[in-house]
Amino acid sequence: MDRRNFFKIVSTVSAGVATSACGNKTDHLIPLLVPDHEIVPGEEQWHAAVCGECSAGCGTLVRVMEGERVIERNREKFRERIACVKKIEGNPLDPVSGGRLCALGHAALQSLYNPDRLRGPLKRSGDRGKAAFQAVSWDEAIGTVVEKLSKARLTDPSRIVCLTGPQMSSRGLTMQSFLQALGAPLALTCSMDSFAIERKAAELVFGWKGLPVYDLARARHVLGIGADFLGGWASPVYYARQFGQFRQGRPDVRGTLVQAESRMSLTAASADEWLPLRPGSEPQFILAIARLLLDGKLARHAEDLPASVAESIQAVDLAKLIAACGIEEKRMRRVARALGESEAPLVIAGASVVHTNSLDSLIAAHYLNLMLGNIGRPGGILAPSPEPLNRAGDGKVAEVLKRSRVLLLDGQNPAYTLPLASGVTQALAAMDLIVSFGSFIDDSSAYADIILPDHHTLESEVAAIPAVSARPTVNVATSFVRPLYDTHALEQSLTEIARKMNVEFVPHRAREVVEKSLAPGQTWDDVVRQGGLWSDAEHEVTPPKARGEKLALRDADFSGAPQQFPLQLQPYSSLQYHDGRGANLPWMQELPDPASSAMWDLPVELDPRTAANLNVVNGDRVKVESPHGSLEAWVYVHPAALPGVVSMAIGQGHTHYGRYASSRGANPLAIVAPLCEESTGVLASGATRVRITRVDGAPGELIQFSPQDREQGPWGRK
Ligand code: SF4
C-alpha cells in the first residue's frame, strides 16, 4: 500500500465506524476465512490498526467488506450479515511499516477467523496440562477468579505473578495498574521479543532506555554481529525496509554488509560477506576488531572511548581472540580496515541466539560504534525515543513461577518458551490459580483453571509503542468490527474482577495515552483515522557521553561435556512462526522455511561433515539429545552450516495449540539447559551441547517445497 492509495481510501472511511457483526456463541460454521462468494457486493472500507503478532508494533490498514455467515439458533440455521476482514496491509504513514508487512502480519487474518479461537469463557474440567475445559458463563468464570484471587491477595499478594508481552501499550498499562491495585509485583515477560540484553547494554553504555535505532538506510558499510535483522530480530519490517534503502535507495551508493554470525541466517545470506563465528565468541570477535582499528589508526574517534575501556582494548591478546572466534587473521584485518575506512561505518550487534556472555558483546559493540564516531549521527546509532509508558520487567521467570501461587497469563506461553529443565511445567502444575486471557488453548493455558478470552487485536482498541522507530511513534487501533464471539476485552474482564473484589482500578484507554501528545489543532479522530501519532522530531543528535561501563571478556558457558555431547545447539526464532506463536496459522505452516524449504515441520540443520559421520542425508530422522532431554526431527543437510554446530528453528513442537500446530514437530527450546544471561535473566538459548543419533524406520517424512534438495542434491537420497 502506498501513500497515494492510502489517502484515496482514507477519504472514504469515517473514523471509528463499526459495521454490524454478531457475537452468538452458537455459531458452528465460521470458515477459516469468509470466502469470496459470501461477500456481499458493495463498498470496501479500510481501517487503520496495529499488528499484534510481535512487539515491532507495525501500523496496518485493514480491508473490511460486508459478508454473510450461517448461524444456528434453536436448531434453525440463519444467514447473517457480518463485517468481514478480507486483507491486511501496512500503513504507509506509519514510520515502522511504511506500507509493508511481514508474512506473519498478513496471516493475522487467520488468527481472527481461526476455527480454534475460543468462543467464550472456559473452566478446567480435567488435570492440569491436559487442556480439558468446559464452557461456563462469564458470571461463573469471573466469580471463580474473584474468590481465589481475593484469598491470594489477603494471604500474600507478592506471590501473584503476571506474564505479559514486552510491548509498551495502553493494554500493558492497564495490566500494570490492575496488579498495582492488588498490591502484586509488576508484570514480567518471558517473550523472545523483549530484547532485554540489547536494552540493558544501551542503558549501561549510554544511559538510553529502550532499543537503539540503527540508521541502516544511511550507512555505507555495515558489520552485523549476531543480529539477524532481516530474519526476525528487533523489528523485521522496519529493518527490511531500511536494508532496501541501504542497497538500492541511493543512486550512487550500494551499501556493503558483512555479517558475522554462527549460522547462515537470512541476514548472513543477504550479506556481501559472511564470517562464520564460533558460537559464543562474539565478544572476542568484537574486541579483536576494536584492537585492529586502534592498531591501524582507523578509529577516528578513539579519544571518545573512556580511558579504562581503551586500556582494556589495548591489553587484549589479539592472537588469542582471533583464534577463539575461528576467523583467519588476514580476513579479520581486511574486515577491520574496510569498516574503519568507510565514510559511514555502522556496527549492528544483537543476540538472535543468546549466550551467557551476550551482554559483554553488545557493550563492546557500542564502544566499537563510539570509536567509529557514529553515535547519534546519520548512518549511525540513534537514541531510542523516550519511553512514555512502563514496560513489563525481565527476570528469571521460571524461578519467579516457582515462588508464586497465582499466575495471570496474558499472551505468554512459558511452557513452550522455557526449557523443561527449568521446572516450568511443575511450577504451573503447583499453582493455586492460573487465569489465562488468551484467544487459544496453548501449551501454557492448558494448565489454566479459568480462561477469560480476550477480543482479537482486530476487534480491540489499543495504543502501542513500536519496539523500534526512528521518531516518537504511537500506533493506534480502535475496534471497527464487533467481536465475532462471546469474548471480553481484557480491560473489561479486569474491571469486572476489580469491582467484585472491591479494589479501586480504572483501565487505561488508548485515547488517554495519545491525547497528552496531541499538537494544537490535532484531534483524537485524526489519530484514529490515520492510525497513529508520529512526531516529526528527529532523535537526539548530540552524541551522548559513554558512561564508562567496563568491558568484560567472559567465555560463554555451555551445558554438557564435549566428549559426550560434541555438537553445539543453536535454536533460532523462525521467520514463519517467530517464537512459536505463528504455528497455529495454516498460511505460516504452508510457508517454506527459507533455509530448508520445509513446510508443516522444521528440520534440524546439520553440516555435511557431521551428516556424513552420522550416515544421514536430507529427510532422514535423527534423535537430538542434550543433558536435559531429547527430541526427534528430520534432517536438513545445510551446506553452509558450521561443522559441529546444529541449528534448529523454533516454532513447532507444541503440545497444545489448535488443530494445525498441536503435536507437530519438535521444540528445540524444550531440551536446552536452564542457563541465563545473568543480569537480565534471559534464557541463554545457545548454551547447550547435544549429540545426535540416526533413527531408522520413523513414520512420516520431511515435506520440502524444493524436493530436489532431498531427491537429487549432493546430500539427497540417491
Ligand atoms: S514485524 Fe511483527 S508487528 Fe510487524 S507485521 Fe510482522 S509480525 Fe506484525
Beta strand pairing status for 629-637 and 604-606? parallel
Q: What's the per-residue H, E or C state across 558-579?
A: CECCCCCCCEEEEEEEECCCEC
Tell which atom from ligand 1 comes closest to the C-alpha of 236: 1
Beta strand pairing status for 59-73 and 76-90? antiparallel
Tell which atom from ligand 1 comes closest to the C-alpha of 106: 5
Q: 475 pairs with which residues across the strands?
A: 464, 532
Place of cell 509485583: 185
Q: Please tell me the residue having the least CA distance from ligand 1 atom 2.
A: 54
pLDDT surpassing 60 at residue 583: yes
The answer to whether 101 and 60 are in contact (CB under 8 A) is: yes
Place of cell 524436493: 707
Integer distance in angstroms from the first to the last C-alpha of the chain?
Answer: 46
Domain ranges of the chain: 3-115+458-485+517-533, 122-192+389-451, 213-382, 567-711
Q: Residue 385: which pLDDT band, with cuts at 50, 70 and 90?
A: confident
Q: Residue 552: which pLDDT band, with cuts at 50, 70 and 90?
A: confident
Q: Which fold has domain 122-192+389-451?
A: Rossmann fold (3.40.50)
What amino acid occupies position 140? Answer: E
What amino acid occupies position 600? Answer: W
The answer to whether 260 and 336 are in contact (CB under 8 A) is: no
The answer to whether 174 and 467 are in contact (CB under 8 A) is: no
Task: Kindly give, in sequence order, each residue whose CB lies less than 8 Å from that of residue 541, ignoring residues fewer than 6 positions away.
Answer: 376, 377
pLDDT surpassing 90 at residue 65: no
Q: Do the domains 3-115+458-485+517-533 and 567-711 sit in the same CATH topology, yes or no?
A: no
pLDDT digits (tens, 9 = 90+) for 11-35: 334 333 333 333 333 333 344 566 6
For a mutational test of ligand 1's pocket, the pick from 102, 211, 591, i.e. the residue with the most ligand atoms closer than 8 A to its C-beta, is: 102
Residue 54 alpha carbon to ligand 1 centre in Å: 5
Q: Residue 681: which pLDDT band, with cuts at 50, 70 and 90?
A: very high
Q: Classify 112 as helix, strand or coil.
A: helix
Q: Determine the distance from the C-alpha atom of residue 666 to the mean position of all C-alpha atoms in its chain, rounded to a whole number.
A: 19
Residue 166 alpha carbon to ligand 1 centre in Å: 14
Residue 140 alpha carbon to ligand 1 centre in Å: 36
The rounded distance, in Å, linking the Cα atoms of 143 and 149 is 10
Beta strand pairing status for 45-50 and 59-73? antiparallel
Q: Please tell me the residue having the least CA distance from ligand 1 atom 8.
A: 105
Q: Classify 536 as helix, strand or coil.
A: coil
The CATH code for residues 567-711 is 2.40.40.20
Task: Kindly give, in sequence order, each residue whose CB lies less than 8 Å from that of residue 708, ignoring residues fewer than 6 positions away.
Answer: 716
The answer to whether 67 and 37 are in contact (CB under 8 A) is: no
Tell which atom from ligand 1 comes closest to the C-alpha of 53: 7
Does residue 389 or residue 218 have the better pLDDT?
A: 218
pLDDT surpassing 90 at residue 592: yes
Grid cell digits, residue 20:
454490524
The answer to whether 634 and 621 are in contact (CB under 8 A) is: yes
For a mutational test of ligand 1's pocket, the pick from 237, 243, 581, i.e. the residue with the most ligand atoms closer than 8 A to its C-beta, is: 237
pLDDT surpassing 70 at residue 64: yes
Q: 559 pairs with which residues across the strands?
A: 688
The answer to whether 409 and 437 are in contact (CB under 8 A) is: yes
> What is the per-residue pLDDT for 34?
64
pLDDT digits (tens, 9 = 90+) for 93-120: 999 999 999 999 999 999 999 999 999 9
DSSP string computed for 41-110: SS--EEEEEE--SSTT--EEEEEEEEEEEEEEETTEEEEEEEEEEEEEEE-TTSTTTTT---HHHHTHHH
Q: For 327-431, where are the alpha helices, taking DSSP H only?
A: 329-341, 358-372, 397-403, 414-417, 424-429
Residue 107 alpha carbon to ligand 1 centre in Å: 10
The rounded distance, in Å, linking the Cα atoms of 659 and 45 is 32
pLDDT digits (tens, 9 = 90+) for 136-152: 999 999 999 999 999 99
Closest of 270, 168, 177, 246 to residue 211, by C-alpha:
168
The rounded distance, in Å, linking the Cα atoms of 491 and 420 is 32
The answer to whether 327 and 282 are in contact (CB under 8 A) is: no
The rounded distance, in Å, linking the Cα atoms of 132 and 441 is 10
Model pTM score: 0.93
The answer to whether 325 and 335 are in contact (CB under 8 A) is: no
Q: Classify 254 as helix, strand or coil.
A: coil
> What is the per-residue pLDDT for 426?
98
Closest of 79, 83, 59 to residue 69, by C-alpha:
79
Place of cell 475496534: 479
> What is the per-residue pLDDT for 33?
64
Average pLDDT, the chain: 92
The answer to whether 409 and 448 are in contact (CB under 8 A) is: yes
> What is the per-residue pLDDT for 17?
37
Closest of 467, 508, 450, 668 to residue 53, by C-alpha:
467
Q: Which of the 8 DSSP states describes residue 508? A: P
| Sign of the C-alpha dihedral computed for residues 411, 475, 480 and 48 taken in this order | negative
The rounded distance, in Å, linking the Cα atoms of 137 and 504 is 24
Grid cell digits, residue 697:
524406520
Residue 599 alpha carbon to ligand 1 centre in Å: 21
Residue 179 alpha carbon to ligand 1 centre in Å: 28
Packed helices 138-155 and 490-500: angle between N→C axes, nearest 10 degrees = 60
CATH code 2.30.40.10 for 3-115+458-485+517-533: no
Residues with CB under 6 A from ligand 1: 51, 53-54, 56-58, 101-102, 104-105, 236-237
Superfamily of domain 213-382: Dimethylsulfoxide Reductase, domain 2 (3.40.228.10)
Closest of 109, 108, 182, 170 to residue 435, by C-alpha:
182
> What is the per-residue pLDDT for 22?
37
> What is the per-residue pLDDT for 281?
98
Closest of 562, 596, 568, 566 to residue 665, by C-alpha:
596
Closest of 342, 103, 138, 119 to residue 232, by C-alpha:
103
Mean pLDDT confidence for 295-322: 96
Closest of 282, 285, 349 to residue 686, by C-alpha:
282
Closest of 116, 50, 65 to residue 453, by C-alpha:
116
